[in-house]
Structure 1
């Protein structure tokens, strides 16, 4: 899986894309929710660039697939989620991810796993507070 700079446009966009595809079906309603979730200035990609993010994500997931099965395990999700460190961006992304997951009218197992893991890793239960001593960095 390729990595992106912390708090970057690409890292944020990949999480939105992952939310939309992790149920195995990219529904039109999810695409509309992704378009509505443009978190300025964090997802300032144009349509073609966002399509490339989705394509790279799919390529990376297929490259690590066991046969025809793609696994979204905790270490993989943790690595992707770790690329977002800024608490306000985490809050915005988690809300956008929920909106995308619910857009097609049902919450698939893969979506529930992703959302649950994001809430845990990002510390939703502690109001997304950065641990003492952790540095803040923002890049695009």
Structure 2
């Protein structure tokens, strides 16, 4: 698996990408939700860099056989812990978890893989389940306003 610098935009984006992949595929609903919620701005990514991170993660996982394919795509828990270790900044962690949550709710269905990924991520970061999931104040400004025609 490629290495990203700790607390880098790519390291944070890779966790969100892994969450999106945790149900076995990347849906347009998820990508559109992340775009609506300003993933690139929130994580300081360049335009279309998130999709490049998703592609790179897929290549790394396929090449290294870190996946256990059943009915859904499940990352080895050890890999989730390794990905989580690359983000130490508390605010970045909050943003990553919030973006993951927004992505997995986009299709109005939370799969077992998605729920399991979030459990592993929260455990790796020792993040309480009852943590405040309210939308971070800074994100409100990033969400694109609806235009009236």
After the TM superposition, which residues 14-33 of structure 1 pair with which residues of structure 2 at under 5 Å, given as runs? 14-33=14-33
2:110 is aligned to 107
Q: CA shift at 1:17, angstroms?
A: 1.4
**Quick one: distance in 1 between partners of 2:123 and 2:99?**
16
CA distance in 1, matches of 2:109, 2:8: 29
Count of aligned positions: 126
Pick from 75, 80, 88: which aligns with 2:78? 75
8 Å contact kept, 2:67–2:74: no
5 Å-filtered alignment, 1:1-140, equals 1-35=1-35, 36-38=37-39, 40=41, 42-47=43-48, 49-65=49-65, 69=69, 71-125=74-128
Measured after TM superposition, the shift of residue 62 of structure 1 is 0.5
Consecutive unaligned residues in structure 2, runs of 5 or more: 132-149
Q: TM-score, normalised by structure 2?
A: 0.75
Query: By percentage of residues, which structure has more strand?
Result: 2
CA contact (8 A) 1:65 1:71 kept: no
TM-align CA RMSD: 2.3
Question: What is the rounded CA distance, in whole Å, between the counterparts of 2:3 and 2:83 in structure 1?
Answer: 8
Q: Which runs of 4+ in 1 moved over 4 A?
A: none
